[in-house]
Amino acid sequence: MSFTNLQLKNENFVKHACQEEVFLNHEPEAAPSLYLSIVVPLYNEEESVEILVSKIAEAVDKMAVSYEIILVDDGSVDRTWSIIEELAGFYPKLRGLKFRRNFGQTSAMVAGFERAVGKVIVTLDGDLQNDPSDIPKLLNKIEQGYDIVSGWRKDRQDNFSRVLPSRIANYMISVTTGVRLHDYGCSLKAYRADCIKQLKAYGEMHRFFPALASMTGAQVAEIETVHHPRKYGVSKYGFNRIFKVLSDIFAINLIIRFSSNPLKGFFLCALPFILMAGFFCFLGFLALILGWTPGKASFFMLGSGLCGFTAVYLIVLGVLGELVVNSSDLTHTHLPEITKKEIYMDKS
C-alpha cells in the first residue's frame, strides 16, 4: 500500500490511501496534551464549514484553553474537503480526516474520538444549527464533575415532521434505557475523553452515547442550548432514519441489559414459547382424554413441539452467547480504519 504526503502552508500534511479501507503506514508523533478537542462530522457542508470554523475559534479563544478542531469529512461529494484543506493554512489548530465514501455520522464521530488528544471532547453538527457559543456552558458543567453533558434544543428550529418523531424517540430511549434526557438527538455534547473513547459504537448509535456510558457509571447532565434554523443545504436525514432509530433502540437495550449475561436475555425471549408449549401440550392431552374432534390432539401436540423447539433453540443461543462473552473481548466490534486523508495539527 502506498501513500503520498502533501505539505500544507502551516506544515500540516495530508495522507492519501490507495484503497477504500485505509491503514496508515505510521502514526503521527504524540501531540502535546490539550484540554479540548472539538469533533465535527461533515457531509456536503461546503457553504457552512468556513463560517463554522470561524465561530468555533471565536468562541473557544475567549476561554484561553488549549484546543484542537477535528473536521471529519464523511465522504462529501462537494467542495467540503477542499475548503478544509484551505482552512488548514489559516487555522494551525485545525485537523482534518476524509473518508473515501459516506460511512455515517457515528463512524465519523468515532474516527474523530480516536484521533482526539484533548481531555474533554465536544461534538456538534456542521450545518450551523448548533451554536459554538454554547461550548463554554458545556465545559462549565463538565468542570462540576459530570462525565457527559448533553445539549437540549428546547426551542428547536425544525419542521414539526422532524420534531414529533424525535420527541417520541427521546421518550422511548429515556424510558427503555433509564437515562432520561429531553434530546438524545442533539449532536452538541461534551464528553470526558477517558469515558467516551472506551465505547464501541456502530450503526446510528452516536445518539446513545450517554446511555452506553451510563453502563460504566458515567454521570450525565443536560443543559439548554441554542438552536438555529438551517441556512445552507438540506437535511441529510429522511424517514428511513426512523426505522434505524427503532432498531437501534432495540439493540441498545440488549447491550445495556444483557451484554454481560446473554443467557438471561435469551431465556426471557424463550419464556413465551415455553408457556405456549405447555399450553398446547395441555390442550393436546385434553383432546385425547375428552375425545375431541379427530386431528385436534395432533395439531396441539405439533404446536407444542414447535414452540418447545424454538425455546430450546433460543436457550442454546444464550449458552453460546455466554461462552462468547467469557472467552472474547469482542474486539470485532471495533471500527476499522476508514480514513482516506488526514491533516495533522502544527505542533510548532
**Gap between the Cα atoms of 90 and 148, Å rounded:** 31
Nearest alpha carbon to residue 34 among 64, 59, 66, 57: 66
pLDDT at 96: 93
pLDDT at 15: 34
**Gap between the Cα atoms of 248 and 37, Å rounded:** 27
Do 97 and 339 contact (CB within 8 A), yes or no? yes
**Gap between the Cα atoms of 53 and 208, Å rounded:** 26
pLDDT at 177: 79
Angle 64-66-96 (CA atoms, 0-180°, nearest 5)?
Answer: 130
Which amino acid, residue 72?
V
Q: Which set of grid coordinates corresponds to residue 94?
A: 485545525
Ranges of residues in the chain with a pLDDT under 50 are 1-30, 330-339
pLDDT at 18: 28
pLDDT digits (tens, 9 = 90+) for 98-144: 998 988 888 999 999 999 999 999 999 998 999 999 999 999 999 99
